[in-house]
Chains A and B, each alone.
Chain A
Amino acid sequence: MAGVVIIGAGLGGLRVAETLRASGYAGEVTIVGDEIHLPYNRPPLSKEALAGGVEVADLEFRRKAHVDDVTWKLGSPAVTSSIKEGTVTLADGTVLHFDALAVAAGIRPRRLPIPGPQAGRVVLRTAEDARELRAALVPGAKVLIMGAGFIGCEVAATARKVDCEVNIVALDAEPMIRPLGAELGAGMRRRHEANGVNFHLGRTITAFNGTDHVESATLDDGTVLACDIVVEAVGSMANVEWLDGNGLDLSDGLSVDDAMIVEGTTNVVAVGDIARHHNVLFSGPKRRIEHWNMPTETGKRAGQTLAALLAGEEVSQAPFSAMPSFWSDQYSHKIQSFGMPGNATRIEIVSGTPDEACIAEYFDDSGLVGVIGIDKTSELAPYRKLLMERG
Chain B
Amino acid sequence: MIKVTIDMDKCQHYGQCCFEAPDVFSLDDAGHIVYVAEVADDRRDDVESAADVCPMQAIEIS
Q: Is A378 among interface residues, defined by CB-CB distance under 8 A?
A: yes
Residues B28-56 near A (CB distance < 8 A): 28-31, 48, 51-53, 55-56
Task: Looking at the assembled complex, report how far the CB atom of B58 sits from the nearest CB atom of chain A, in whole angstroms.
Answer: 10
Q: Is A117 among interface residues, defined by CB-CB distance under 8 A?
A: no
Contacts A378-B27, A381-B27; is A62 near B51 (CB within 8 Å)? yes
Task: Looking at the assembled complex, report how far the CB atom of B35 sits from the nearest CB atom of chain A, in whole angstroms.
Answer: 15
Main secondary structure of the interface of B (DSSP, over half): loop
Taking a contact as CB atoms under 8 Å apart, the answer to whether B27 and A292 are in contact is no
**In chain A, what residue has the closest Cβ to B45?**
A22
Taking a contact as CB atoms under 8 Å apart, the answer to whether A381 and B18 are in contact is yes
Interface size class of A (residues with CB under 8 A): 20 to 34
Note all chain A residues with C-beta closer than 8 A to B52: 15, 296
How far does the alpha carbon of A378 sit from the alpha carbon of B26 in the complex, in Å?
10
How far does the alpha carbon of A325 sit from the alpha carbon of B55 in the complex, in Å?
10
How far does the alpha carbon of A381 sit from the alpha carbon of B14 in the complex, in Å?
11
The answer, among B15, B29, B53, B56, for a CB contact under 8 Å with A377, is: B15
Taking a contact as CB atoms under 8 Å apart, the answer to whether A377 and B55 are in contact is no
How far does the alpha carbon of A43 sit from the alpha carbon of B52 in the complex, in Å?
14
In this complex, the member of B12, B28, B48, B60 whose beta carbon has the largest number of chain A beta carbons within 10 angstroms is B12
Q: Is A150 among interface residues, defined by CB-CB distance under 8 A?
A: no
Taking a contact as CB atoms under 8 Å apart, the answer to whether A378 and B55 are in contact is no
Taking a contact as CB atoms under 8 Å apart, the answer to whether A377 and B57 are in contact is no
Taking a contact as CB atoms under 8 Å apart, the answer to whether B55 and A61 are in contact is no
How far does the alpha carbon of A161 sit from the alpha carbon of B53 in the complex, in Å?
28
Contacts A296-B52, A327-B14, A336-B14; is A378 near B57 (CB within 8 Å)? no
With A296-B52, A378-B27 given, name 17 new contacts (CB 8 A).
A41-B55, A41-B57, A43-B55, A43-B56, A59-B57, A61-B57, A62-B60, A64-B48, A293-B55, A325-B16, A334-B14, A336-B14, A378-B28, A378-B30, A381-B18, A381-B19, A384-B19
- Seen from chain A, the residues whose Cβ lies within 8 Å of a Cβ on chain B are 15, 41, 43-44, 59, 61-62, 64, 292-293, 296, 325, 327, 329, 334, 336, 377-378, 380-381, 384
- Seen from chain B, the residues whose Cβ lies within 8 Å of a Cβ on chain A are 12-16, 18-19, 27-31, 48, 51-53, 55-57, 60
